[in-house]
Amino acid sequence: MATPTPPTASAAPGGPLVGGASPARATRRSAEPDPFALIKGRIARAAADLVMAGDSVGLSGGTTTLEVARCLRGRSLGLVTNALDIARELALRPPRRARAWCSSAAC
């Protein structure tokens, strides 16, 4: 008796994979500007002003906290986050002075 071979992944984008799973699709960001961008920037700058060199901060995911991370870029600090974009903002973009711990399965 021949051993059955498992199905292979589909070459077509969005096609089913083994077990019926489908590849994740990238979400499109809205082309429209965020009407609250100025307010989020002010909040982010105010929050970043409270962080001193050497501090450790925890940031959850979100657009406002991403702005906080951008304001903290270049500072020597510790970061705990569940958001890959925030970890990337502080740990991978120059100047790299932050130590980031990401607590998400996506990290």
- Tell me which of 22 and 95 has the higher pLDDT: 95
pLDDT in tens, 39-82: 999 999 999 999 998 999 999 999 999 999 999 988 888 889 99
- Tell me which of 13 and 103 has the higher pLDDT: 103
The torsion angles phi and psi of 84, rounded to 5 degrees, stand at -60, -40
Please tell me the distance from the alpha carbon of residue 106 to that of residue 46, in angstroms, as a whole number: 29
- Burial class of 65 by CB neighbour count within 10 A (0 to 12, 13 to 18, 19+): buried
pLDDT at 93: 73
Does the predicted TM-score (pTM) go above 0.75? no
3-state secondary structure of 69: helix
Please tell me the distance from the alpha carbon of residue 69 to that of residue 16, in angstroms, as a whole number: 37
Nearest to 107 by CA among 36, 50, 59: 59
